Structure 1
Amino acid sequence: MHDPNAGFIRCARLIAQADGLLITAGAGLGVDSGLPDFRGDEGMWQAYPALGKARMHFQEIANPAAFRARPRLAWGFYGHRLALYRQTRPGPAFGMLRDIARHLRRGAFVFTSNVDGQFQKAGFDADRIVECHGSIHHLQCMEPCSAAIWPAGDFSPEIDADACELLNAPPLCPRCSALARPNILMFGDWGWLEDRSEAQQARLDAWRHTVERLVVIEIGAGTAIPSVRLFGEHQGAPIIRINLREAGTTSGKGVCLPLRAGEAMNGIVDALREEGFPGA
């Protein structure tokens, strides 16, 4: 039988011996903040009934072809998400992770497939975050006419929620006036500009060389699109895997916790306190 308390103690001891923390996060962490999981049709269609009526799958709307064929629908979907992420408060797991990192000599770095900007909002250093699939808070040209990537802060989408359509003018490229799109890696996407994410990755690589005793906390990273899970597994470090539905297994040094992010982090923090970890 799974004993969560024993797992929490093992997690606490792995963290206590580390000098650096790599947080690898997928969509499951956003769900803990109250955000919908768009990977499953049921969840997406509940959030976007118009797409459900049209039987549009996530892969069909999260696709640059949708911006070319039906730009108001595509921006209705992404504009709604942009507004949602702007108003969402990060769940409690973010603060607990941040507090743990403060007491490690090399601090923490984040590697996430989430495009929602929640780590920045939760107070993590923007220079210590890799958004491997890009960010909804940044835009690029649809063409693209250049390698420019710019913040989406000046765009305030107005959405017809019933139709999932953008009501106001969509953002345009400031250089050529073509339609702008989120700087997000979509399905079937050959036009994504990856310079921003590559610069983030270079900073992570430099930090990684300074860490002697790394521990990885992986949260909500599934196997359907395994970018995050594989990156953490390739670090050669013990992994604390937090995943309610796909905990799976890790190496002998790792720990799997089939729990939600907040519940697991609460248990880890309590165990750290018992182990005398500073600040816990």
Structure 2
Amino acid sequence: MQDPITTAAQYVLEADGLLITAGAGMGIDSGLPDFRGPEGFWRAYPALGLQRLMFEEIACPDAFVRDPEQAWGFYAHRLNLYRRTTPHAGFALLRAMAERLERGAFVFTSNVDGQFQKAGFDELQVAECHGSLHHLQCFHDCRGHIWPAADFAPEVDEARCRLRSPLPRCPDCGALARPNVLMFGDWNWQSGRTEVQRQRLENWLATVQRPVVIELGAGTAIPTVRWFGEMRGAPLIRINPGEAEVCTDRGVSLPLGAHVGLQAMARELRAAGFLD
């Protein structure tokens, strides 16, 4: 049986376009927290742990109604964390692979952290299926507007998980602004930006004759990313330290973290003369 790293590299060598699908595990090697299970979440946010608040109870519109300073304390802390986090070297390896393929690459991710753009991926080649924390919208979605959060500089009391600076406001109606991310039990998420991204992705896929999917850190609890890659019917490289199993004869499992898995593939691709 051929070594799985060799198989993964061969899939890339035979492709003309790279579809990168990524879940929360992609950011762990950059130092971003893992929210899997209440214990992991409460380690990252001990103030919420003291209240026994689950991730689903703070990452929802009701939290902004119940206590907007606390809800924004949680999301603003994440925004500040994403802004100061440097993407790990695996992102650069993906870019290097894409640059050598005729149709380049497109990213489909459930992550709202903007790390792919920060790592140098073209904004027009990224589809964020759950939105982005780097963009805001009206809590009531009064006019369907989405705007960048670049001018929002939140100050957070991290010990209490509360926003200390003024709450952000909708420039159209003055109501509370919220992150343009899909939350639990969310009926007012403005999906317009994501829909435009998805259309760009579909347009790109139509130009690719021999796609390969590299899936990174996508779990089964919310399997949107896994399903999207599997539905392409293309060779699938699943890099995941805990849930790497694939159920297709054109798939390969790499039970590794994202950075380590990509490094292993890069070594094989360098040996084949594909990467410098």
Q: TM-score, normalised by structure 2?
A: 0.98
Match of 2:172 in 1: 175
Cα offset, 1:155, TM superposition: 0.6
Distance 2:224 2:148 in 1: 25
Mind listing any 5+ residue stretches in structure 2 that lack a counterpart? none
Aligned counterpart, 2:142: 145
Q: CA deviation at 1:120?
A: 0.2
Shift of 1:93: 0.8
Alignment of 1:73-222 (within 5 A): 73-222=70-219
1:239–1:250: 8 Å Cα contact kept in structure 2?
Answer: no
Q: Is the 8 A contact 1:160 1:167 kept in 2?
A: yes
SS at match of 2:226: helix
Using the size of structure 1 for normalisation, the TM-score is 0.97
Does residue 19 of structure 2 align to residue 10 of structure 1? no
- Identical pairs, percent: 58
Give the secondary structure class of the aligned counterpart of 2:30. coil
Correspondence for 2:255: 258
Q: What is the deviation of 1:42? A: 1.3
- Tell me how far apart the structure 1 counterparts of residues 166 and 250 of structure 2 sit (CA, whole Å): 53
Equivalent in the alignment of 1:231: 228
- Range with greater deviation from structure 2 (5-14 or 147-156): 5-14
Runs of 4+ aligned structure 1 residues displaced above 3 Å come to none
Distance 1:107 1:250 in 2: 26
Cross-structure match for 2:32: 35
Q: What is the CA-CA distance between 1:99 and the residue it aligns to?
A: 0.5
CA–CA distance in 1 between the matches of 2:109 and 2:160?
31
Asked if the contact 1:39/1:58 (under 8 Å) is kept, the reply is no
Q: Which runs of 5+ in 1 are unaligned?
A: none
Partner of 1:49: 46
- Number of paired residues? 276
**Mapped contact 1:20–1:213 kept (Cα < 8 A):** yes
Q: Cα RMSD between the aligned structures?
A: 1.0
| AA aligned opposite 2:190 | L
Does the 8 A contact of 1:250 with 1:256 survive in 2? no
- Offset of 1:40 from its aligned partner? 2.2
Aligned match of 2:59 = 62
Following the alignment from structure 2 to structure 1, what is the Cα–Cα distance between the partners of residues 37 and 167? Answer: 27
| In 1, Cα distance between equivalents of 2:36 and 2:109 | 15
1:21 to 18, 27, 43: 18
